[in-house]
């Protein structure tokens, strides 16, 4: 048994497994795997592919938040802003400025980078709850700005529809859903690789040390501000990247993308999945999306509508189930879902002990 | 001139509402270090409780109105105390997890309210006078603003008197300054936590009933939308400072009204800007002592 | 047989992940003043805080209260520990600056019959300033308030941490006199850097270095030994330490 554990702990094996997983996921559109109750249809159908692609984007977004919250210990309540910049930025560049896809992507990237740098530079001047509040304030400002619909750019309450004029046919239309699926898979892989690389880098180690004990980092002559800013920017830019993919997948952007509610949802995902575990963010994202989509179906199913009111009313609300689940996880499973599986498998693939992470942050 | 008067007084009315929510947030954070995201739900439940009562007793008389405010306060207090006792207390000293659990509670409770009462706004009526206006210096002020201001002043007074003259008030005032020293005097400060949550919940519940009068409807979403502003007010005023919350509430709301009118609906934006400015210039807020 | 009021065995403590007390073992007799000595930063205050449960700690801390009944303090919460009859006068006073003197005292009252007269006689200045905000008091007055808080209740043990720190010599004398008065009826574990005060008050001495106890014995013996003072406290003479 020990040998098996040793085998699975070896990082080469982990990467090999990861490769196999990616290959499997890439093949899904060719397969006819069906999980009734979870998937709306077998895996080659556009509906299921859309669902899976969406969950991968949310997982990628959760990963970008994991960098900021789990690794750097920065409780940001405004992360959704960068995601919205990605979606709205690309949408506006395509629709109102008539750019081709690639230039539009680059422009949006730059905007995301700039905003993350500016907001980060200002917000990181304070710490803890004040930092959280400032990030919330900036995200709120963004949300308000989107709703105000300046120059008719954002579409206000109605949202912004994707202008497909300059998008290669590869990504347009229901029949091409599997291409979009592969695009989202690629996005997830890229985000995962970037965040892994960052965590293992010097900067990543320093920022994790900063989270643990800022004084110790200062004593050896490093200014925590700059590594934190770097982490914040990378997390923000990754979110922008995911936001752009989101626009392509969903063909529209709505103002709720920048809302505080959405960032809180990200927080829920990362904690549910397991703070301090990179895989936790991914698992959390996938589970959340599937739950969110399927709970609605479950909620209006016959099984539930037959129950007495006291049970039916709460169970018919997916967010109630999610919220309660979240409360239970926070109370009894601080390591989240990844924490439970890690304890079962006793693997070493952790960024940091999750309980310790949360305690240090507190 | 009459416009200025109108904006000023309606601003103070809105500020009164912000204060009713922010007072609890400020005390809870000041004493316990908990950022309570579920506070909006205390407000919402209070509002619905008040509405259910008014619905049954006939909503257009003062007796019912006062009774629904009282019921809102009680319901808010109980909900808050239960939250502290069952959820927050288990996570003693683990501040981040306490915040997270309130986030989960906010999510679950709003969903529950959606399930029970539906997501659509339910229009409410109250005593006739509240729907009317009074002339002051040429401005027509909606009467419910006066009730709001009165309620906020009474709540502020009530809390101040409680803090000054009761033993729990003493413990809370000391605890906001130095919680561990209070325990080192042999006092179980956790009981004060429940009291503080209950007070905050009661104020929020009152705010809920009055908010439904102000907006003209109840809906599961009213708590959440007010909560953001309450947070901003709390932070600007200084976490833990009741008087700070009062001043900041008035300031923020009046500013919001003026900006909305004179600067083309940018009230929300201006408030958020104010928050950023205050935090960067004076991170502990106007009257806050904790950094 | 001399009675023990407090027994500490293998106490270790951490603050924010840092080990501040390694392995401390000693006993506090049930009468008189026992001094806890050591250089700055060796872990004296942390030991006191560990006994009180104000910081994360492990080890055995046993309190012999009424009728020699032994209670384990290391498993209890701070307020329960204090309620057993242990008074605390913290380093840096820690009075509540936004409360008045009277309110500070009232908050501290635990017994049904607090010894208000005793405290009033001992600290007439506090009586005169009853309505004053504690934050506006001088250092010496705050120290009196902090002491008064602990003396209000009929405690069985007092933990006093550097009560003369930063005070003018005259005030030091007053504080020492107040402590001597208190010591007549209750044992005191006293952390103190001022060796004059220690000489005046203490019967026993416990010396700490590097988070461990390195010497226990009579106070007068220790203070008479220049070499030991130099080694453990790092000062040339006892007289120097009094300045």
Q: Secondary structure of B21-74 in the HEC alphabet?
A: HHHHHHHHHHHHCCCCCCHHHHHHHHHHHHHHHHHHHCCCCHHHHHHHHHHHHH
C230: left (phi over 0), alpha (psi -120 to 50) or beta: alpha
Torsion C151-C152-C154-C159 (CA) sign: negative
pLDDT at A318 over 80: no
Within an 8 Å CB–CB cutoff, is residue A300 touching chain B? no
Distance of CA C160 to the CA centre of its chain: 1
The span from the CA of C77 to the CA of C60, in Å, is: 14
Q: From CA A322, how far away is CA A77, in angstroms rounded? A: 19
| Residues B237 and B249: beta-carbon distance below 8 Å | yes
Binned at pLDDT 50, 70 and 90, residue A344 comes out as: low
Please list the residues that pair with C218 across neighbouring strands: C204
The maximal CA–CA distance of chain C, rounded, in angstroms, is: 49
Q: Are A135 and A77 in contact (CB under 8 A)?
A: yes
CB–CB contact B177 C79 (8 Å)? no
Checking if the pLDDT of A351 tops 80, the result is no
pLDDT exceeds cutoff 60 at B158: yes
> Comparing C-alpha atoms, which of B126, B24, B139 is closest to residue B77?
B24
The reported pLDDT for the residue numbered A310 is 76
**SS (HEC) of A242-293:** HHHHHHHHHCEECHHHHCHHHHHHHHHHHHHHCCCCHHHHHHHHHHHHHHHH
pLDDT at C186: 92
Q: What is the DSSP letter of C126?
A: H
Order the strands of the C18-29 sheet from edge to edge.
Answer: C70-72, C56-64, C4-15, C18-29, C212-218, C202-209, C33-37, C188-191, C157-161, C86-89
Q: What is the mean pLDDT of residues A41-58?
A: 82
Residue of chain A nearest B114, judged by CA positions? A317
Specify the pLDDT at position B177.
87
Cα distances from B24 to residues B200, B201, B289, C225, in angstroms, run: 4, 7, 17, 59
pLDDT for A37: 63
User: What is residue B166's predicted lDDT score, i.e. its pLDDT?
Assistant: 94
Query: Which residues of C are less than 8 Å from A213 in CB distance?
Result: 16-17
C14 touches chain A (CB under 8 A): no
- Quick check: helix, strand or coil at residue B136? strand
pLDDT at A302: 67
Beta bridge partners of C13: C21, C57
Residue B39: what are its φ and ψ, rounded to 5°? -60, -35
Lowest mean pLDDT among A215-224, B141-150, C169-178: A215-224
- A214 touches C at CB < 8 Å: no
B15/A202: higher pLDDT: B15
Dmax (CA) of chain B: 59
**Could you tell me the pLDDT band of residue A340, with boundaries at 50, 70 and 90?**
low
Instruction: Provide the pLDDT for residue A2.
Output: 56
Contact C6, C190 (CB under 8 A): no
Q: Which residues contact C45 (CB under 8 A, 6 or more apart)?
A: C91, C161, C162, C191
Q: What is the mean pLDDT of residues A67-72?
A: 86
Question: Average pLDDT, whole number, for chain C?
Answer: 88
User: pLDDT tens, C86-100?
Assistant: 999 999 889 999 999
Q: Which two tokens stand for residue A146?
A: 């989107």
Interface contacts B/C by beta carbons within 8 Å? 51
* B108 vs A122, A126, A319: nearest CB: A319
CA distance A168 to A50: 19
Tokens matching residue A293 = 């989509």
pLDDT of residue A15: 77
Q: Are the C-beta atoms of residues B65 and B131 closer than 8 Å to each other? A: no
**Contact partners of B by the rule of 3+ C-beta pairs under 8 A?**
A, C
Q: How far is A297 from chain C (nearest CA, A)?
A: 47
Tell me what pLDDT residue B19 has. Answer: 95
Q: Which of A134, A137, A267 is opposite residue B103, by nearest beta carbon?
A: A267
The continuous run of DSSP H or E covering C7 comes out as strand C4-15
Higher-confidence residue: B221 or A335?
B221
Mean pLDDT of A69-86: 89
Whether the pLDDT of residue A11 is over 90: the answer is: no
Quick one: average pLDDT of B187-214?
Answer: 93
Which residue is it, tokens 């008014």?
Answer: B54
A355 — pLDDT class (breaks 50, 70, 90): low
Q: Is C41 exposed, middle or buried (0-12, 13-18, 19+ CB in 10 A)?
A: exposed
Count the alpha carbons within 13 Å of C20 in the hemisphere toward its beta carbon: 19
Predicted local distance difference test score (pLDDT) of residue A349: 42
Question: CA angle C162-C168-C170, nearest 5°?
Answer: 105
Residue of chain C whose alpha carbon sits nearest to that of B171:
C107
In this prediction, residues B248-263 reach a mean pLDDT of 91
Chain-centre distance of CA B46, in angstroms?
11
Q: Are B75 and B207 in contact (CB under 8 A)?
A: no
pLDDT in tens, C159-211: 999 999 888 888 899 899 999 999 998 999 999 988 889 999 998 999 988 88
Question: CB-based contact (8 Å) between A126 and chain B?
Answer: yes
Report which of B48, B38, B40 is spatially closest to residue B17, judged by C-alpha positions.
B40
Q: What would the mean pLDDT of A83-102 be, rounded to a whole number?
A: 86
Instruction: Judge whether B11 and B191 are in contact, CB under 8 Å.
Output: no
Cα distance between residue C88 and residue C189, in whole Å:
10
| C231 against A166, higher pLDDT | C231
For helices B189-215 and B39-57, what crossing angle results, to 10°?
50
- Predicted local confidence at residue C158, as pLDDT: 95
**A163 — pLDDT class (breaks 50, 70, 90):** confident
Per-residue DSSP letter, A306: T
Q: DSSP label at C132? A: S
Average pLDDT over residues C20-44: 90
Strand, coil or helix: A38: coil
What confidence score (pLDDT) does residue B102 get? Answer: 92
Q: Which residue of A has its CA nearest to B89?
A: A331
pLDDT score at B265:
74
- What confidence tens digit (pLDDT) does each residue in A238-250 have? 999 999 999 888 8
Mean pLDDT to the nearest integer, A165-184: 78
What local confidence, expressed as pLDDT, does residue C231 receive? 82
Q: Which residue has the higher pLDDT, C202 or A269?
A: C202
Q: What's the rounded mean pLDDT across residues C210-225?
A: 86
Which has more confidence, C179 or A152?
C179
Percentage of chain C beyond pLDDT 70 is 95
Residue B68 to residue B61: CA distance in whole angstroms:
11
How far, in Å, CA of A7 to CA of B169, rounded?
Answer: 60
Q: E-strand spans in chain A? A: 160-161, 252-253
At B162, phi and psi to the nearest 5?
-60, -45
A236 min Cα distance to partner chain B (Å): 19
Asked whether residue A90 carries a pLDDT value surpassing 80, the answer given is: yes
At residue A270, the pLDDT reads: 81
**Higher per-residue pLDDT: A71 or A233:** A233
Residues 6+ apart with CB under 8 A from B200: B23, B24, B25, B27, B28, B36, B39, B42, B80
pLDDT band at C229; cut points 50, 70, 90: confident
Q: How many residues does chain C have?
A: 243
Distance (Å, whole) CA B65 – CA B53: 9
Chain A interface, mutation test: which of B32, B103, B110, most A Cβ atoms within 10 Å? Answer: B103
Using alpha carbons, select from B23, B18, B2 the residue that is nearest to residue B254.
B18
Of C241, B165, C211, C212, nearest to C222 (Cα)?
Answer: C241
Distance of CA B282 to the CA centre of its chain: 23
A189: buried, middle or exposed (CB in 10 Å: 19+, 13-18, 0-12)?
Answer: middle
ipTM: 0.89
Count the Cβ atoms, other than its own, within 10 Å of residue B291: 12
User: Could you read off the pLDDT of C102-112 as tens digits, one per residue?
Assistant: 999 999 998 88
The residue that leads in pLDDT, B128 or A36, is B128
The Cα C64–Cα C187 span in angstroms is 12
Considering chain A, what is the average pLDDT of its residues?
79
Spacing of C-alpha A4 from chain mean position: 32
Identify the three-state secondary structure at position A32: coil
Least confident span in A274-278, B159-163, C165-169 = A274-278
What are the Cα distances from residue A120, in Å, to A82, A229, B270, C25? 12, 6, 20, 50
Contacts of A137 in chain B (CB under 8 A): 232, 272, 275-276, 279
Number of Cβ pairs closer than 8 Å across A and C? Answer: 3
Q: How far apart are CA C125 and CA C143, in angstroms?
A: 12
**What phi, psi does A98 have (nearest 5°)?**
55, 35
- Chain A partners of B283 at a C-beta cutoff of 8 Å? 125-126, 130
Classify each residue of A227-247 as buried b or exposed e, where b means 16 or more C-beta atoms within 10 Å of its C-beta. Answer: bbbbbbbbbbbbbbbbbbbbb
């Amino acid at each position: 048994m020990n040998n098996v554990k040793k085998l699975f702990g070896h990082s080469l094996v982990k990467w090999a497994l990861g490769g196999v997983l990616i290959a499997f996921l890439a093949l899904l559109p060719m397969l006819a795997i069906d999980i009734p109750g979870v998937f709306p249809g077998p895996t080659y159908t556009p509906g299921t592919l859309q669902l899976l692609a969406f969950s991968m984007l949310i997982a990628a977004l959760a990963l970008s938040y994991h960098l900021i919250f789990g690794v750097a210990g920065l409780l940001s309540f405004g992360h959704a802003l960068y995601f919205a910049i990605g979606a709205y930025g690309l949408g506006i560049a395509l629709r109102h400025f008539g750019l081709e896809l690639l230039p539009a992507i680059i422009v949006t990237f730059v905007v995301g980078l700039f905003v993350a740098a500016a907001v980060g530079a200002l917000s990181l001047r304070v710490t803890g709850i004040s930092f959280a509040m400032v990030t919330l304030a900036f995200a709120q400002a963004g949300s308000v700005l989107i709703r105000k619909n300046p120059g008719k750019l954002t579409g206000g309450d109605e949202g912004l529809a994707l202008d497909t004029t300059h998008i290669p046919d590869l990504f347009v239309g229901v029949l091409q859903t599997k291409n979009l699926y592969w695009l989202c898979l690629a996005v997830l892989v890229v985000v995962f690789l970037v965040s892994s690389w960052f965590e293992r880098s010097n900067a990543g180690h320093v920022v994790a040390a900063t989270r643990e004990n800022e004084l110790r980092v200062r004593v050896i002559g490093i200014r925590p501000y700059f590594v934190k800013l770097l982490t914040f920017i990378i997390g923000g830019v990754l979110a922008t990247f995911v936001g752009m993919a989101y626009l392509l997948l969903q063909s529209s952007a709505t103002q709720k993308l920048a809302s505080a509610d959405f960032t809180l949802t990200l927080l829920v995902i990362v904690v549910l999945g397991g703070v301090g575990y990179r895989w936790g963010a991914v698992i959390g994202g996938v589970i959340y999306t599937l739950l969110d989509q399927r709970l609605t179906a479950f909620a209006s199913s016959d099984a539930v509508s037959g129950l007495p009111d006291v049970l039916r009313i709460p169970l018919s609300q997916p967010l109630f189930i999610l919220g309660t689940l979240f409360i239970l996880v926070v109370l009894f499973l601080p390591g989240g879902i990844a924490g439970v599986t890690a304890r079962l498998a006793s693997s070493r693939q952790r960024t940091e002990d999750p309980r310790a992470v949360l305690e240090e942050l507190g | 001139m009459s416009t200025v008067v109108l904006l000023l007084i309606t601003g103070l009315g809105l500020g009164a509402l912000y204060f009713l929510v922010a007072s609890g947030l400020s005390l809870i954070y000041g004493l316990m270090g908990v950022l309570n995201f579920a506070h909006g739900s205390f407000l919402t439940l209070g509002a619905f409780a008040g509405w259910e009562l008014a619905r049954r007793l006939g909503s257009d008389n003062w007796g019912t109105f006062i009774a629904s405010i009282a019921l809102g306060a009680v319901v808010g207090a109980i909900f808050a105390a239960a939250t502290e006792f069952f959820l927050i207390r288990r996570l003693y000293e683990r501040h981040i997890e306490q915040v997270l659990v309130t986030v989960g509670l906010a999510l679950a409770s709003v969903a529950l309210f959606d399930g029970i009462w539906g997501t659509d706004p339910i229009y409410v009526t109250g005593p006739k006078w509240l729907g009317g206006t009074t002339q002051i210096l040429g401005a027509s002020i909606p009467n419910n603003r006066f009730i709001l201001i009165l309620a906020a002043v009474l709540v502020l007074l009530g809390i101040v008197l409680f803090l000054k003259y009761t033993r729990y008030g003493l413990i809370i005032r000391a605890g906001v300054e130095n919680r561990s020293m209070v325990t080192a005097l042999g006092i179980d400060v956790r009981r004060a936590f429940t009291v503080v949550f209950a007070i905050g919940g009661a104020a929020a519940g009152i705010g809920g009933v009055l908010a439904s009068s102000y907006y003209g409807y109840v809906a599961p979403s009213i708590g959440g939308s007010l909560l953001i502003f309450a947070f901003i007010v709390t932070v600007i005023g200084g976490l833990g400072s009741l008087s700070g919350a009062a001043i900041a509430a008035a300031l923020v709301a009046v500013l919001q009204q003026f900006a909305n009118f004179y600067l083309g609906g940018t009230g929300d934006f201006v408030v958020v800007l104010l928050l950023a400015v205050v935090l960067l210039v004076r991170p502990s807020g106007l009257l806050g002592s904790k950094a | 047989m001399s009675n023990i009021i407090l027994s500490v065995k293998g106490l270790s403590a951490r603050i924010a992940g840092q080990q501040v007390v390694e392995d401390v073992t000693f006993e506090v007799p049930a009468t008189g003043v026992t001094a806890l000595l050591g250089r700055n930063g060796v872990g004296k205050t942390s030991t006191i805080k560990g006994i009180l449960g104000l910081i994360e700690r492990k080890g055995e801390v046993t309190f012999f209260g009424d009728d020699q009944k032994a209670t384990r303090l290391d498993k209890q919460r701070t307020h329960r520990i204090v309620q057993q009859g242990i008074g605390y006068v913290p380093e840096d006073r820690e009075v509540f600056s936004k409360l008045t003197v009277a309110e500070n005292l009232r908050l501290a009252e635990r017994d049904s019959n607090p010894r208000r007269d005793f405290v009033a006689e001992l600290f007439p200045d506090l009586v005169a300033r009853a309505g004053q905000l504690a934050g506006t008091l001088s250092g010496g007055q705050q120290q009196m308030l902090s002491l008064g808080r602990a003396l209000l209740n009929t405690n069985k043990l007092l933990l006093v941490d550097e009560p003369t720190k930063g005070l003018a010599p005259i005030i030091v004398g007053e504080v020492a006199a107040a402590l001597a008065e208190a010591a007549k009826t209750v044992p005191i574990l006293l952390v103190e850097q001022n060796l004059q005060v220690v000489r005046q008050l203490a019967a026993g001495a416990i010396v700490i270095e590097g988070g461990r106890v390195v010497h226990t014995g009579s106070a007068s013996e220790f203070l008479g030994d220049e070499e030991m003072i130099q080694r453990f406290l790092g000062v040339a003479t006892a007289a120097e330490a009094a300045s």
